[in-house]
Amino acid sequence: MRRFFPVNPTFAEGFRRSALRLRRARWGCAWLALLWAGAGWSVVAGSERPNVILILADDFAPGDIAAFNGGRTRTPAIDRLVREGVWFNAAYSASAVCAPARAALLTGRYPHRTGVVSLELDKYPELTRLRRDETTIAEVFAASGYVTGLIGKWHTGAGEEYHPLRRGFHEFEGFFGSDQLTYERYTLDVQGEKQEVSGKYLTDDLAERAVAFVRRHRERPFFLKLAHYAPHRPLSAPAAIVQRYEAAGHERKIATIYAMIEVMDRGIGELMAELAALGLRGKTLVIFTSDNGPDPIPGPRFNFGLTGMKYEVTEGGIRVPLVFHWPARFPAGERQALAHFVDFFPTLVELGGLQVPAKAKPRDGTSLVPVLDGRPAPAGVRFWQWNRGEPNYTHNAALREGPWKLVRPFVTRAEPKADAAAAPVLYHLGMDPMETSDLAAQHPERYAEMRAALAAWSAEVEHERRRTAR
């Protein structure tokens, strides 16, 4: 049975039903299912380096996946990735917001070290640029003979020096992150040239460009990051799909979000079908995840009752879906080990047999390959912190070690004007996945140790963030 949380009887029956629905699911159009199950599905050529496709949704929560949400959404392609892939029950973004999360994903390092700590590229250009002395996973793939591409959202630096084509990507078709775009009318940067687009739905357009990338480069190894904007605001989706969700009882905003997700899922299915048709399925690793939890502005939606949403380092803000899908290499099933965005870089280096340059700065993550192979892994220790503007580590910070989590409470989505007065709280996620019971008084030694560890980490990453070399 697929679980999202650690074992908890409150949710057992719901997950049992979700798993049953997943096993019974029918996979969209018959031709798409046949293509996806076609030649190349399960044959991998010896030790040949895999193609890698990293699909990153935006403001997408684990509770948005139909396999886990009682059929609230329609996500047959993602459901199939989950069913046939390795699903991480304790997967985390590196941040509660998008730009810092993406920086960690690219570098294997905590966002603060990379210089990307805030959101708006226009308001905080110096706090949203991935520093030039950072090594990206795209650069490592490119140096190892891969064709590298980014389709969709960049959001880790505006300006010529920080353009994706200067950060390891051979091809870029996308936007920077603070663009004033809609899903029906938008401007894309295509290889450094602006392209005005109207009459196409953005999510469909990005999916088509991903399929075209795979077709162009089917003869050599490739790394593609497909960074969807969906279901990020502004909310917009085909009316017929929205109306279907409204008819199911969802209010307009949530119905629109679910429709946006359905369109994104349809494109993922088409991409998977194309891989199979080209005979590439068996030698392509597909990773699906999201940059952070759901946006609170449109209002709450189903997410297992997790505390908090985007902007917050409670579970609802940083817990994300994560599946590694490569049935030819990894046995399908759940993994309980903690996984974090800083772990992606070392994992992909190991899987691709890549050479990291000696000048690259040390990574914070560790390879997930042993976990993917089904072997036990030691309990990880990971950190988070975010506030708008310059970091203030008394705000919205967290440390997880095994089942224990220390949280400095969220105060404001605006720039903090002073240090937070509230004391950190201590949770045991195995017994309390909703983060409702503060155990600091019952475990004073652990509480003190974790407070000290979080303070030490904060001082360390802030010192590195302020280094002078660019």
How deeply is 167 buried, as exposed, middle or buried, from its count of CB atoms within 10 A (0-12, 13-18, 19+)? buried
* 462, 391 Cβ separation under 8 angstroms: yes
253, 21 contact by CB (below 8 A): no
Rounded CA gap, 113 and 94, in Å? 12
Quote the CA–CA distance of 162 and 113 in Å, as a whole number. Answer: 16
Query: Tokens 């650690």 identify what position?
Result: 6
Is 54 in contact with 224 (CB distance < 8 Å)?
yes
Fold entry, domain 382-465: Arylsulfatase, C-terminal domain (3.30.1120)
Task: Break the chain into its structural domains and give their ranges.
Answer: 10-378, 382-465
The number of C-alpha atoms within 13 Å of 103 and in the hemisphere containing its C-beta is: 31
What is the C-alpha separation between 138 and 345, in angstroms, rounded?
10
For residue 57 the two structure tokens come to 């949704």
Residue 149 and residue 172 in contact, taking contact as beta carbons nearer than 8 Å: yes
**What would the pLDDT profile of 122-163 be if each residue is shown by its tens digit?**
999 999 999 999 999 999 999 999 999 999 999 999 999 999
Per-residue pLDDT tens, the chain, 470 aa: give them.
Answer: 355 544 343 333 343 344 444 433 333 333 333 334 433 333 333 357 999 999 999 999 999 999 999 999 999 999 999 999 999 999 999 999 999 999 999 999 999 999 999 999 999 999 999 999 999 999 999 999 999 999 999 999 999 999 999 999 999 999 998 778 999 999 999 999 999 999 999 999 999 999 999 999 999 999 999 999 999 999 999 999 999 999 999 999 999 999 999 999 999 999 999 999 999 999 999 999 999 999 999 999 999 999 999 999 999 999 999 999 999 999 999 999 999 999 999 999 999 999 999 999 999 999 999 999 999 887 789 999 999 999 999 999 999 999 999 999 999 999 999 999 999 999 999 999 999 999 999 999 999 999 999 999 999 999 999 998 65
The model's pLDDT over 44-92, given as tens digits with 9 standing for 90+, comes to 333 579 999 999 999 999 999 999 999 999 999 999 999 999 999 999 9
For residues 401 and 37, give the distance between their C-alpha atoms in angstroms, rounded to a whole number.
40
Give residue for tokens 């991935």.
130
Axis crossing angle, helix 239-247 with helix 252-277, rounded to the nearest 10: 120
The DSSP bridge pattern shows strands 171-175 and 147-153 to be parallel
CA dihedral 176, 75, 239, 294 (to 10 degrees): -50
Supply 105's token pair: 């994903």
CATH topology of domain 10-378: Alkaline Phosphatase, subunit A (3.40.720)
How many C-beta neighbours within 10 Å does residue 448 have?
A: 11
Residues 173 and 190: beta-carbon distance below 8 Å: yes
DSSP 134: P
Alpha-carbon distance 295 to 311, whole Å? 8
Radius of gyration of the chain (CA): 21
3-state SS, residue 114: helix
Angstrom distance (rounded) from CA 310 to CA 267: 25
| Peptide bond just before 62 cis, omega within 30 deg | no
Q: How far apart are CA 309 and CA 408, in angstroms?
A: 15
φ/ψ of residue 116, rounded to 5: -100, 105
* DSSP character string of 69-80: TTTSS--HHHHH
Residue reference for tokens 């973004």: 93
Coil, strand or helix at 402: coil
Whether residue 234 has a cis bond before it, omega within 30° of 0: yes
Query: Which residue is it, tokens 């629109």?
Result: 256
User: Among 168, 140, 170, which Cα is nearest to 156's?
Assistant: 168
If you write DSSP's letter for every residue of 69-125 in order, what string do you get? TTTSS--HHHHHHHHHSEEEEEEE-SSSSHHHHHHHHHHSS-HHHHT---S-TTT-G
Residue 128 near residue 157, CB atoms below 8 Å: yes
Q: How far is CA 43 from the centre of its chain?
A: 28
Confidence (pLDDT) at 469: 62
